[in-house]
Structure 1
Amino acid sequence: MKIGKGVEWVAHACAILALLPPKRALSKESLAEFLGVPAPYLAKQLQALSRSGIVLTHRGAKGGYRLAKSADLISLWDITASVEGTAPSFRCTEVRQNGPCGASEKECAGPCHIASAFARAEAQYRDSLGKVLLTDLVAAGTNEATDSRKQDIGLWLEQHATSVA
């Protein structure tokens, strides 16, 4: 299962947004600067988060992004599904019916065992990501950051966050 870099970027962006005080937002340019990633590409990923209700977008010179709901209500699966979609990663094409020794339709009445195994694995993967909350990720990042880095982040957020209604 391959996860695009956009998922990584917006997971980090959400962790930064979780640090903002209420009624404050960050522009896509500020988020991109903080993460050291291209703003136009990050903007596409942020739009996906907005469509799924994870972030709110505020337009205008003082606009930006902020979380739409509490960080303890946002899971890593929510973020991943917003960007990558929810379609199954594995799609069975019933290859067992192909070739000179292909199985008959009657033999294929039940689900393909290979497709079933992939489906179980994907369900466990989604369930596992669903149990990782944004608050857990922020806490882990905060615990490993030095006091100096925490202070730098706080000052940076003060300088870049805008007030929104």
Structure 2
Amino acid sequence: MRRLGDGVEAAMHCALVLAGLPDGVVIPGRDLAALYDLSESYLLKHLRALTAAGVTEATSGPRGGYRLARKAADVTMLDIVEAIDGPGPAFVCKEIRQCGPVASKDPCAFRKSCLIRVRMLQAEKLWRDSLRGQTLADLARDAAPMIDDTTKRALAAYVDAVKR
């Protein structure tokens, strides 16, 4: 199984910030990168992936920036994961049970699917279903009581200073 790319975390946090913007307001990518002390080129790659997936919209020009393309209640955590890491399975079975000195040479021995593959794909389905059931609106609601007032004020001031 592969681990999620670091871009997923960055994309989730940026999408959450964008979810709090008023209609018609955008934040430049460089300011989103600065907010989390990320390389601008690194974050812009992920913001472009979110835009290609229809999660965010990008506006160009001196007043350009990013905003959500849909309401926060219509963007799932899975939408963001798949935009950044792709929709493919996390676990890929290489059928190593068919290799090595003790593997059966009888092709009939491998008619049934590898049980490890089956269980891993079952677990992945549960994980994806869970992410599909959680939206940015859910995250924003659940995160609000966990963020201290000082941080909330600092974030609001930062967004107010950089929004367009």
Give the TM-score, by structure 1 length. 0.92
Superposition deviation, residue 108 in structure 1: 1.1
Name the CA distance, whole Å, in 1 between partners of 2:161 and 2:91.
45
Count of aligned residue pairs for this structure pair: 162
1:18 counterpart residue number:
19
Superposition deviation, residue 125 in structure 1: 1.2
Moved more, 82-91 or 7-16: 82-91
Name the CA distance, whole Å, in 2 between partners of 1:114 and 1:86.
21
* Shift in alpha-carbon separation, 1:149–1:99, aligned structure 2, 3 A: closer
Give the TM-score, by structure 2 length. 0.92
Q: Is the 8 A contact 1:97 1:105 kept in 2?
A: no
1:111 counterpart residue number:
113
2:162 counterpart residue number:
160
SS in 2 for 1:24: coil
Superposition deviation, residue 148 in structure 1: 3.6
Name the CA distance, whole Å, in 1 between partners of 2:146 and 2:153.
13
Residues 140-155 of structure 1: pairs in structure 2 closer than 5 A: 140-155=142-157
Moved more, 149-158 or 18-27: 149-158
2:66 counterpart residue number:
65
Is 2:67 the counterpart of 1:79?
no
The one-letter code of the counterpart of 1:61 is P
Residues 106-145 of structure 1: pairs in structure 2 closer than 5 A: 106-145=108-147
Moved more, 146-155 or 38-47: 146-155
Moved more, 122-131 or 49-58: 122-131
Q: Is the 8 A contact 1:27 1:65 kept in 2?
A: yes
Superposition deviation, residue 141 in structure 1: 2.4
Moved more, 18-27 or 122-131: 122-131
Moved more, 50-59 or 150-159: 150-159
2:57 counterpart residue number:
56
When the two chains are superposed, the root-mean-square deviation of aligned CA atoms in Å is: 1.4
The one-letter code of the counterpart of 2:31 is S
